[in-house]
Chain A
């Protein structure tokens, strides 16, 4: 380094002989506990993955072959499909340091629109499907405009729109359920996601589950291999910095909420496939389950860190614990208890990571 002309000043005399390297990047501590912490921090999805493995091992022991059977494990996947798709949408929003309480309502509204337009009004199923997807995207767009342009807190905005979308569900559906037989007769396309394939050994996979995996892969690509994805992380992690580096955070936020709305509409399609009927009441609990999956999956509610793989594992963890506890013969209340405890542990871990990286 060429600094022979700059004599060290008085207070810097003590630096003589110190390293002249401007910055080195060594790992600070090397004891096993620190290395484990660093490993967890640099591989955040390893935590939910370990929890999932422990869960599977535990229930294989506690519930025996009832749990660890191809049929049952494939059932768990079917059970988490709707939650998994919604959680994918929720992950995108939470990565921007927001939250979308209306994902469940958007899903139901889109499903109700699809069913109503095709079965009751008699339009072609393809058209009704498109219309449902459009309605979902529009709902998300509305959330995005309130959050990004009017700069209102996402929690309040989506609490409000959740209520509004629920009202629209009742308005569009007239509080009526469309029976599964009617959907099957008039618009079988809407039940397409429920198509089942027997894999052998009792394992059954639905198209909805495959869709969930494909969607997760696409969103993974979006988040990790495109500039838009990087901008989502930056916008959520440090909005000020994102803006200064030339990222249009307003556009990014609106795009994220709109995309989340579209994914929720797909969740609506998946839900018709799973349930068969189109009900204005189905899937009301999916909303919180999706947030649970995201949080358990290691995505930070403070934005800017998290992954779609974590969310997928989080959704499966919820499914494994609910299914395993049920097969172990415990009452439903212990399912709720365990899922609640998992959330707190997950948020605690997140806080711990953030502290220990300072």
Chain B
């Protein structure tokens, strides 16, 4: 197997060995391995049914694996829910974005991790510190160049697809996570909005986060990825360097038309 680019001395921030998961008779992932290095964008590609989404769900806690181990920063971890994974520092931008459409931008940013006032107001009266949350949300969105002024109480449903994707990405990067998993972030977007989201991915990378990008869009993958993990028949078939590998080669490996062993 040809694991390219990133130096061998670097330790993976997130890696997994021998992941297996079956749904009844259907084997979704079969002894799959995974490595994500600090500060890189790792694209995961694979044909439909190759098991990439099951593997990703295992990494973000949405699916419980039958066998195998996952390490985060060298520590063996086991996630029983996405919340577990999030607490450990793995944030996920789901394909459906997991936003509540009728709620405001600030509310959505803090959904499931609301901040209360300190002192009695917070502990006894459970009062949320809305000003602090709004300010924090605004700061984080401004950092990513996502927002200019006020309007933090605008409902998310009034935003465009790209804007919503931006909110979801900002949420995944705002709370000190180490790894961000993005599931098809450009699938629902037009050309212009896709471009903006790809720039956003670069920005997030520049801030030192490690990114797993799941995408079917080969041009997007080849543009932003540092390495490409190709999934086939339930396991990692190859990891290629987008600078040294052509798109058609990657597709060939993905579909089994070409094997990596003699490369």
Could you tell me which A residues sit within 8 Å of B by CB distance? 1-3, 6, 8-9, 11-12, 15, 18, 20-25, 41-42, 221, 225-228, 230-231, 233-234, 237-238, 240-242, 244-247, 304-305, 357-358
Contacts and interface: CB of A to CB of B under 8 A. Distances in A.
Contacts of B195: 8, 12, 15
Contact of B103 (A6, A15, A23, A230): A230
Interface stretch (B18-26, B41-49, B80-88, B233-241): B80-88
B263 interface: no
B111 A25 contact: no
- For chain B, the bracket of interface size reads 35 or more
Given A2-B206, A22-B145, A245-B112, A227 B98 contact: no
A306 B51 CA distance: 41
Interface in B122-159: 126-128, 130, 144-149, 151, 153-155, 157-159
B102 A18 contact: no
A240 B98 CA distance: 7
A226 B96 contact: no
A230 B102 contact: no
Contacts of A358: 157
Contacts of A230: 103, 107, 110-111, 114, 128
B259 interface: no
A2 B144 CA distance: 12
Contacts of B145: 1, 21-22
- Which one of A12, A225, A245 has the highest number of Cβ atoms from chain B below 10 Å of its Cβ? A245
B100 A23 contact: no
Interface of B: 62, 81-83, 86, 92, 94, 96-103, 107, 110-114, 116, 126-128, 130, 144-149, 151, 153-155, 157-160, 162-163, 166, 191-192, 195-200, 202-203, 206, 219, 223-224
A25 B148 contact: yes
- Which one of A11, A25, A231 has the highest number of Cβ atoms from chain B below 10 Å of its Cβ? A25
Given A18-B192, A22-B166, A23-B147, A233 B94 contact: no
Contact of B191 (A15, A231, A240): A15
A226 B117 CA distance: 10
